[in-house]
Structure 1
Amino acid sequence: MRFWLAVLRQAGRNLRQTWPSQLMTLLTVSLSVLIFAFFYLVYTNMISSGEKLGDDLRLIIYLEDDPGPQMREQIRRKIINFDDVEDIIFVSSAEAYERFAEQLGGNKDVLEDIPKDFLPASVEVIPLKNLRSLNQVKLFSEYLSSLPGTLKVQYGQEWVERFYYFTRLLSIVVFLSGSLLILTTIFMVSYTIRLTIFNRQAELELLKLVGATNNYIRTPFLIEGVLQGLLGSSLGIFSLFLLYQWIKAHFSGPGLLELFSFTFFSPEVVLAIVTTSIILCSAGSFTSMQKYLRI
C-alpha cells in the first residue's frame, strides 16, 4: 500500500511540474483519436449501409423474347451452374406491363394506345448475401450476359461501383489515420516523459543510490502514460459523440441520413479504442524509460 501511495505521489508531482507539455500531449492524443475514430465511424456505417442495400441487390436480365418452359429451365440451370442464388424470378412482357402501369398509378392512361408487349421479358436474379464483392457481381453480370437470348444485364452498375470504390478509399483513410494515431501517440508521450526524466535526472540518480527499486522509479512514468491514453482517448471519443449528436440533430429528416441508418460505436468498440490508446501511450512511456533511465 505504501508503495502505491508513494508512486502516485511521484506521478502527481511529475504531472504538476510538466503540466504544459502534459496538456499538449493530452490534446494531441485526443485529436489523433478523434480523427481516427471519425473516419472509422464513417467507414463502419458505410459498410453496414452497403450490406443493407445489398439485401435488395438483384441482377435483371432483359431477354429478346418471352422464354417458354424449356428455355426457362435451361436459363435456370445455367444460372445455378455459376453460383447458388437466393431466387430466380421470370417476368413476362405482360407482367412487366402490369408492373409499369402500377408504378404510374393515376397516370397509367398514357399506356392506353401502347401495345402490352412493348416491354421486354426479363429474369430477376437475387444473389445470395455472400455474393457481394464488386468483382463477384461483375463476373456474375458478365456470365449472365452470355446466356441465350440476352439483350442486356442491369444491376445499377455505376452506383455499385462508386459505392465500393468509396468504401475502399475510406478503408485506406482509416488505415492512414490509424497509423497517424500510433505514430503521434507514441512520439508525443515519449517526448513528454523524456522531458520529465531530464528535469528529474539528478533526483532519479539519487533515488537509485539510496536503494530505490527499478519498479519504484519506472511505475510513475507508466502511470503517466496510462493516464494520457485513458484521458486522451476518452476526450476524443466524447468529442466525436458530441459531433455525431450535432450532425444527427441538424441533418435528420429527408435526406442522406434518412436513407442510411447511421449509428455510433458500440460499447465494445469504444472500449477497444480506449484500450489501444492506453497500450500505445504506455509503450511510448516505456520506450523513453528504457532509453534514458538505463534501468
Structure 2
Amino acid sequence: MLVRRLLYLLREAVANVLTNRTTTIVAVATTAFTFACVGVFLLLYVNLKAMAASLEQDIQVMVYVQDDLPESARGEIEVQLRADRAVRSLSYVSKERALADFQAQFPSESRLLQGLGQNPLPASFVVTLAADSRSAEAMRRWATRAQLIPGVGQVQYNQEWVEALAGIVRYIEVAAIIVGVILSAASVTIIANTIRLALYSRREEIEILGLIGASTTFIRVPYLLEGAALGLCGSALSLVILKAGFELFRHEIHSATRFLGVDALLTFFSFEMCAVLVVVGLFLGCAGSFLSLLHFGEGRA
C-alpha cells in the first residue's frame, strides 16, 4: 500500500511537470541562471582564498640586525627567534651575502653600492612563520614582538600586500553572502510562482480529492516533489554552466602568456561543495512549493 502511494505521488509530480512544460523550462532556466550568478561569486571567493593562502606561504619576514653587532649578540637573537613557536624556519643572511645577492639580482645597479666604499646592506634573518601565524593581524603582532628583541634594528614584511589581500577576500565573502541571499530569495519566488500556476490549473482536481477524503499532506506532496525537482534541476544545470564557463576562462588564461602558470592555481568546486549546492537547490525548491501551497490553502479558506 505504501509503495502504491509513493508511486502515485511520483506520477502526479511528473504529470505536473509535463503538463506545464513551458513554465517548468522557464523556472529551471531562471533558477539555473540565479544559481550560476551566486556560483560565480563563490568561485571567485574560493580561488581568491586559495591564492591568498598560497601567497601567505611565500611571505617572509626580514629581521634586520644592527650594524657592528657582536657575534654573541647575533647568536642570542637567533636563539630567541628559533625558540618562538610562531617561527617555522629561519636562515641567516650576512652582510657579504646580502651584497652578493643584490649584485646578482640587480647587476646594473651594483655600481651604485661600489661608489660608497663600504657595504651598506645590513645582516638579517629571513623568517618563515608557521601556518597559524600568517594572517595580517598575526604577522603584525609578531613583527612588533620581534622588534623588541635587543640588537634587532628593523623588522619588515610586505604588510600592505598581506592586508590588502585579506581585505579583498573579506569583501568577496560578504558580497557572496549578500548576492546569495538575494538570488536565493529570487529562486524561491520563481519556483513558488511556477507551483502556483500548477495548483490553479488543477484546482478542480484538488477540490475533488479533498471531497473524497484525501488528506492535505497527500494532496500537497506531489507539488513539494515538483518544487524539489525544479530546484534540483536548476542547481545541477547551474553547475554545468559554471563548469563550462570555468574551463573556457582557464583555457583563455592559459593561452595568455602574461598569465603563464595562473591557470594551474585555479580550481573548481570540490565534489562535496557541488553536492551541497545541489542540496541547497533542492531545499529552496521545497521552500518555494511550501509557500505556494500555504498561499493556495489561505486562498481556498
What's the TM-score bracket when you normalise by the shorter of the two chains? 0.7 to 0.9
Tell me the CA shift for residue 274 of structure 1: 0.6
Deviations 1:189-224 (A, max 9, x none): 222222222232222011111232434312211221
Cα distance in 1 for residues equivalent to 2:182 and 2:158: 36
Residue 35 of structure 1 is matched in structure 2 by 37
Quick one: which of 256, 264, 267 aligns to 2:268?
264
What is the DSSP-based 3-state SS (H/G/I as helix, E as strand, rest coil) of the residue aligned with 1:60?
strand
The code of the aligned residue for 1:27 comes to: A
Tell me the CA shift for residue 246 of structure 1: 0.9
Residue 48 of structure 2 is matched in structure 1 by 46
Cα distance in 2 for residues equivalent to 1:66 and 1:234: 67
Q: Flag the 1:244–1:116 CA change in 2: closer, same or farther, 3 A.
A: farther
Q: Contact 2:135–2:162 at 8 Å: present in 1 too?
A: no
Q: Contact 1:87–1:126 at 8 Å: present in 2 too?
A: yes
Aligned residues: 295
Tell me the CA shift for residue 148 of structure 1: 3.5
Q: Contact 2:224–2:290 at 8 Å: present in 1 too?
A: yes
Residue 155 of structure 1 is matched in structure 2 by 157
What is the DSSP-based 3-state SS (H/G/I as helix, E as strand, rest coil) of the residue aligned with 1:120?
coil
Tell me the CA shift for residue 113 of structure 1: 5.5
Q: Contact 1:60–1:153 at 8 Å: present in 2 too?
A: yes
Tell me the CA shift for residue 114 of structure 1: 5.6
What is the DSSP-based 3-state SS (H/G/I as helix, E as strand, rest coil) of the residue aligned with 2:58?
coil
Percentage identity across paired residues of the two chains: 27
Equivalent residue runs for 1:255-294 within 5 Å? 255-256=258-259, 258-259=261-262, 261-293=265-297
Residue 7 of structure 1 is matched in structure 2 by 9
Residue 194 of structure 1 is matched in structure 2 by 196
Structure 2 stretches of 5 or more lacking a match? none
Q: Contact 1:94–1:116 at 8 Å: present in 2 too?
A: no
Residue 164 of structure 1 is matched in structure 2 by 166
Residue 226 of structure 2 is matched in structure 1 by 224
The code of the aligned residue for 1:258 comes to: G
Tell me the CA shift for residue 262 of structure 1: 0.3
The code of the aligned residue for 1:264 comes to: F
Cα distance in 1 for residues equivalent to 2:259 and 2:142: 30
Q: Contact 1:88–1:125 at 8 Å: present in 2 too?
A: yes
Cα distance in 2 for residues equivalent to 1:245 and 1:84: 39
The code of the aligned residue for 2:61 comes to: L
Cα distance in 2 for residues equivalent to 1:77 and 1:151: 17
Residue 236 of structure 1 is matched in structure 2 by 238
Q: Contact 2:56–2:162 at 8 Å: present in 1 too?
A: no
What is the DSSP-based 3-state SS (H/G/I as helix, E as strand, rest coil) of the residue aligned with 1:152?
strand
Q: Contact 1:226–1:282 at 8 Å: present in 2 too?
A: yes
Scaled by the length of structure 2, what TM-score is found?
Answer: 0.86
Output the aligned Cα RMSD. 2.7
Range with bigger deviation, 233-242 or 14-23: 14-23
What is the DSSP-based 3-state SS (H/G/I as helix, E as strand, rest coil) of the residue aligned with 2:88?
strand
Q: Contact 1:134–1:160 at 8 Å: present in 2 too?
A: yes
Cα distance in 2 for residues equivalent to 1:102 and 1:241: 44
Tell me the CA shift for residue 230 of structure 1: 1.5
Deviations 1:19-62 (A, max 9, x none): 34333322221122111111111111111122222222211022
Equivalent residue runs for 1:92-107 within 5 Å? 92-104=94-106
